[in-house]
Amino acid sequence: MSRAISVGAVHAAPFLLDRTATIARACDWIAEAGRQGVNLLVFPEVFVPGFPYWINLYPPAEQHAIQARYIEASVDVDAGDLEAVCRAAAAAQVVVVLGVSERLGSTIYNSQAFIGADGTLLGIHRKIQLTYAERFLWGQGDGATLGGLDTQIGRIGGLICYEHMMNLARQALIDDGVQIHCASWPTFASTRGRGEAYDRLVDTLMRAHAITGQCFVVMAQPPVTAEMISTFESQLGSQQSLSPGGGMSAIYSPQGEVIAEHRGPSERLIVADIDLAAILKAKVLVDGAGHYARPEILSLRRDRTAWRLPYSAK
């Protein structure tokens, strides 16, 4: 039986280090998604307040002041920083997955906020493993935030950037029956020496997860803008490694086919109509959470303990 819905990925840049302006921009994209009849909208990694590219470009000792700015610009859920986004999701009747740098006290987490089409904050996933220089900026998430969520349009879940390198993290979402996987990424394609190799890596991982998880994948990246680079260069000095450009966003079928895609610096909402019935057809051949699993030989153990306080804790 057909279960058709419309999904979208925001291929756009934030206003780096400006939480208020970027949240307003996110609300504009949500409103546009609503006008286009989109049911699920996915944003890039830490769209609010933007990815801190400087962490890979300058010596750590020079970054204290801008790191403090970044913490200050991060999202405090208990302070109501996501209320405008929740109202926008409800007004547009769109399920939203928003990448945020989430602030809890003086510690921040690289997170995805899942918001229902009625404006309810359904949950937050915190990145469980940080990559390279990210480790001296964000705290680690725990197993309590790793899993699927039921929404008005089906069961969704997500991972952030190189979490997709963690095969067991991907399997955890497969075991949870995620039908639409929401992948939030930055772009490093405009970094000297990476270019197309980065896009190939991301595309390969996303196709692999769609195929092995028998699910749809909605993947969002932002381009890097000259304004973003100027924002951190004004505080840290010039650098030659990162330039404007990059960005690749795409939507994949359970067969790993690209349904919709956009690359490059121009900003847009990419949209595709999908039919969740295609998942069952894929699982007839291989069901990674069922008849194609061998739990008596291979099993996944998860610790769902919340080692960090939840976002709602006072």
Active site residues: 45, 127, 161
Cα–Cα distance for residue pair 103/287, rounded to 1 Å? 38
In three-state secondary structure terms, 292 is coil
CA distances from 155 to 12, 124, 152, 158, 270 (A): 25, 15, 8, 11, 21
CA distances from 273 to 6, 278, 304 (A): 4, 12, 34
CA distances from 156 to 7, 12, 94, 299 (A): 12, 22, 13, 22
In three-state secondary structure terms, 162 is helix
190 touches 165 (CB < 8 A): no
